[in-house]
Amino acid sequence: MSDAQTQIQETVSGSDVVLFMKGTKEMPQCGFSSRVAGVLNYMGVEYSDVNVLADENIRQGIKDFSDWPTIPQLYVKGEFVGGCDIITEMTLSGELDTLFAENGVSFDKDAADKIREANG
């Protein structure tokens, strides 16, 4: 399992924003992954996606790595942020904007505002 942990650590350290998900950002394979990828895509965030369905060691390894039982999982600057419910909540409250801004991650503020308007 240490190989998976090493690979995960290198992945989260190698990109500013990483989404471990079922499927890919172009073709999510579950509703929760689709929701988080959709938010990031709509906000124009550059991020790496890791399809956990392609590797069982990564699929289990990411749960162990974060001590979080579900997928998707979002990492910003190497730090675990949360899963679908947390990302949805942070998007609607504006906390995700703040997190991105504080970490120098570019995103479309107007798009983020539109998400909040549509769900307000």
Quote the distance between the C-alpha of residue 4 and its chain's center.
18
Distance separating alpha carbons of residues 38 and 36, to the nearest angstrom: 5
CA-based nearest residue to 43, from 114, 118, 103, 99? 114
The verdict on whether residue 84 carries a ligand-binding annotation is no
- Known binding site for [2Fe-2S] cluster: residues? 30
- Known binding site: residues? 30
